[in-house]
Every structure is written in C-alpha cells, then in structure tokens.
C-alpha cells in the first residue's frame, strides 16, 4: 500500500501543475484537511480548509492567481502513513507577471489509501517580495 500512496501522490501533484483535479478527488478522504502555511494577506490560498470541496477551491485559487509552469518533485519520503514531499514550484504571478521558482515542502497523512491531510510549507514573505505581491 505504501508504494501506491507515493505513486498516487505523485500523480496528484503532477496533475495539479496542469490544472487536473480528478486524481485529487479520488485520493482525498471526505474529511480531508488542507493547510497552506502562508498568511492570507499575502496569498488567498493560505490557511486551513476542511473537506474535498475546499481543497479544490484552494487548488483553484492557486491556479487562478498563478501560472504553474512546473512542480518539480525532488523527493518523496515515506514513514508509515506519512509522506513528505520536497520540490520546487515554478510559477508566474498573474497579477504582477513576475516569475519565480521556489522551494516547497509538504506533509501528507494517509490512512487506508486515502489522504487525510496535507500541510504545505514555503517562505511566503520572501516569495511575496520576489513576486511583488502586496498585502490584500
């Protein structure tokens, strides 16, 4: 099962970069909790959201605010039901037209082949500065 969690997560992340939400819908538990560790004043996708519909909203907000050029997965590390992903996300702000590739890390919790939660970590202040994003 653990290999299949990693494979499924890789497919979800690759699909996200192209705007495809179907792999995500099939992977997420109905009670899925998503947390993007970034202030909503800088990134409207920041904060904690519960449920599959809200996870899709978060993904849609990211895709609306940014053109995603690439989500390069550098490492997937699994320990029990937890998978850590480390990579580089290459985006262009639709607001400022500035392009930035930045490191990002995520922690995914699984149970019985379903994702229960995901937390995303990145240097939001530096990223906002490099993108020229103002507080909203």
pTM: 0.89
**Cα–Cα separations (whole angstroms), residue 84 to 47, 56, 87:** 19, 21, 10
- Check residue 16 and give its pLDDT: 79
Q: List the chain residues with pLDDT less than 70.
A: 1-3, 135-136
Q: Where are the domains of the chain?
A: 2-130
- Check residue 88 and give its pLDDT: 97
Q: Phi and psi at residue 71, in whole multiples of 5°?
A: -120, 95
User: Tokens in use for 3?
Assistant: 């290999």
- Check residue 123 and give its pLDDT: 96
User: Tokens in use for 102?
Assistant: 């930045």
- Contact assessment for residue 127 and residue 99, using Cβ atoms and an 8 Å cutoff: no
- Check residue 6 and give its pLDDT: 93
- Check residue 1 and give its pLDDT: 39
- Check residue 2 and give its pLDDT: 47
Determine the Cα–Cα distance for residues 133 and 122; give it in Å rounded to an integer. Answer: 15
- Check residue 15 and give its pLDDT: 86
Domain 2-130, classified CATH 3.30.365.10, yes or no? no
- Check residue 136 and give its pLDDT: 60
């Amino acid at each position: 099962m653990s290999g299949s969690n990693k494979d499924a997560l890789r497919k979800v992340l690759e699909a996200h970069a192209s705007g495809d939400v179907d792999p995500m819908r099939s992977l997420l538990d109905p009670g899925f909790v998503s947390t993007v560790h970034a202030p909503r004043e800088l990134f409207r996708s920041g904060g904690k959201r519960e449920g599959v519909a809200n996870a899709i909203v978060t993904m849609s907000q990211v895709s609306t605010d940014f053109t995603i050029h690439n989500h390069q997965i550098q490492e997937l590390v699994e320990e029990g039901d937890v998978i850590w992903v480390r990579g580089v996300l290459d985006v262009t702000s639709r607001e400022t037209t500035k392009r930035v590739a930045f490191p990002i890390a995520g922690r995914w919790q699984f149970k019985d082949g379903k994702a229960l939660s995901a937390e995303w970590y990145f240097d939001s202040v530096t990223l906002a500065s490099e993108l020229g994003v103002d507080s909203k």
